[in-house]
Chain A
Amino acid sequence: MAVTIQEVDHIARLAKLSFSEDEKEKFVEQFNQILTYMEKLNELDTSDVEPTYNVLALTNVMRPDEEKTWLSQEEALANAPRSNHGFFSVPKVIG
């Protein structure tokens, strides 16, 4: 399945990235090359194979629900591009 410019646009929207027309064309070319290579996996019949999402086969790891001191509000906000009254501050969400 070949990737098109429209699909690159769609994926960029999902990934919250934007690209110039030149970059998109390059993506189409490189994506198709890489995805063609990845289709190699279709040579394998995996209908009876379980996926491995984690090699340790861990399920839920529980811990006691206890209060602990972690970062102070000041420390947590120290790297924020903008903060206000102890909150992260961002541009308006609703137009």
Chain B
Amino acid sequence: MDLTTFDYQKLEDKIKTRELSCVDVTRAYLDKIEAARSLNAFISVYKNDALKRAEQVDKKIAANKAGQLAGLVLAVKDVLVVKGGRTTCASKVLSSFISPYDATVIEKLKAQDVIFIGKTNMDEFAMGSSNESSYFGPVKNPRDMDRVPGGSSGGSAAAVAGDLCVAALGSDTGGSIRQPASFCGVVGLKPTYGRVSRFGLVAYASSLDQIGPITKSVSDAARLLTFISGHDHRDSTSANLPVDDYMSYLDQDVKGLRIGLPKEYFAAGLDPQVEKPIREHIDVLQAAGAEIIHVSLPHTEYAIAAYYIIATAEASSNLARFDGARYGVRAQGVKDLEEMYIHSRTQGFGREVKRRIMLGTYVLSSGYYDAYYRKAQKVRTLVKDDFERALSDVDCLLTPVAPTTAFRLNEKLDDPLTMYLSDVYTVSVNLAGLPGISIPCGMDVSGLPVGLQLVGKPFDEGTIIRVADFLEKSH
């Protein structure tokens, strides 16, 4: 029995009945991380801290005072701050930044006795779809070491798929949880915009970013979501709405559910090897009494252009704070403040981040603001309206996550537009602020995992969890 392959649901009983101690479990993962260094999934490993915490949690379990996620060994994308540890965003500019506080999600999970095992590698500042833009080098896909794990939460997805942790946290701005989950064959959930507080998440594009879980099972995703959700006075965009117990949506049937298939998502560009297992799952739902409805999202083809204008514009503004003055790397040998700004930023940021800051600055600059930025925000309204219309007739949508399975390392590295276009099935969901979940649904002929996406109504994570759990258990 290799306990590192367990999801939390399997592990929980063994930990709470003290068949396994948290120290045993944590040690097993630490050994596994050490053995899998070639994946490059982690930027920091909390070796001593994790074991110390495991000991404390074991004592709490013995005293019957443990939290509800006791012993859940969690990896955290290095874009979320954890007090006292490094938070680098996989960037040179923050390579020695020590966070003086905890993100809200970290605080909430600490209260439930989660054990933090380390910080995962990612695309620099979450900008990328392949995890190749990290200052700390690319992450490899544990299913095939010559392939990318997807991005930007590539380290988190690889860590879960490679059994280096029970579960992980990621962030999703245009698909950064769902696409790597799909490429690595694990579950990834992006909640509704506003469901989870972003306090302590280093911002990329503030109107699109959401934090969510990457897990080995739908039930673990449901459980983590239940604990990280909710209003937070420190994030004014977090929604002041009651939080569901997402576990109550597990083990339900799908009879009578209306599931929409957007025709634009099953059109040219979708690899037939990706489409095949998805179609098989649609048949499973139909056989179980779900109604399959054909719907249309007519503005789909404009989503990527709108997304990259909005995301880069917000990024150029958010990343203005990295100027070498208050934190981060400061260039040496500069003659004045202006030079300090320019050289610190030029030396501190990598290629893709600079490209996006430049694009974002351009679309916001005088003379182009209306033509690009305002136009994109209007198109965003059209994209959002498409979803509203489609979801008024169905309970959720079912789509692919990515047009292909994991591509090879270096394949798209120097071709930004091709890389951007691979986000076609995920970015619209962020533009509309909707919840989406990616679950493994099969393999292509090379044995690479294929993902399937379910998209729900705002704040109705319950329905997509219900359908995802049903499909997972149909395997």
- List chain A positions with a Cβ less than 8 A from chain B: 3, 7-8, 10-12, 14-19, 27, 30-31, 33-35, 37-38, 40-44, 46, 49-56, 58, 61, 63, 71, 75-76, 78-82, 88, 90-93, 95
Contacts and interface: CB of A to CB of B under 8 A. Distances in A.
B346 A18 contact: yes
A34 B325 contact: no
Nearest to B382: A49
B306 A41 contact: yes
B381 A52 contact: yes
Nearest to A60: B236
Contact of A50 (B97, B365, B372, B381): B381
A38 B194 contact: no
Interface of B is mostly: helix
Contacts of A11: 358, 361-362, 365
Nearest to B341: A16
A46 B375 CA distance: 7
B359 A34 contact: yes
A79 B361 CA distance: 27
A54 to B, nearest CB: 6
B337 A91 contact: yes
A16 B308 CA distance: 21
A34 B336 contact: no
Interface residues of B, number: 68
B342 interface: yes
Nearest to B340: A91
Interface string B393-434: 000000000000000000000001100100000000001110
B302 A40 contact: yes
A59 to B, nearest CB: 11
A93 B336 CA distance: 6
B212 interface: no
B237 A56 contact: yes
Contacts of B327: 79-81
B417 A51 contact: no
B346 A54 contact: no
Contacts of B329: 81
Given A8-B358, A95-B336, A79 B326 contact: yes
Contact of A88 (B207, B325, B354, B420): B325
A37 B358 contact: no
A14 B361 contact: yes
Given A44-B302, A51-B377, A56 B193 contact: yes
A17 B346 contact: yes
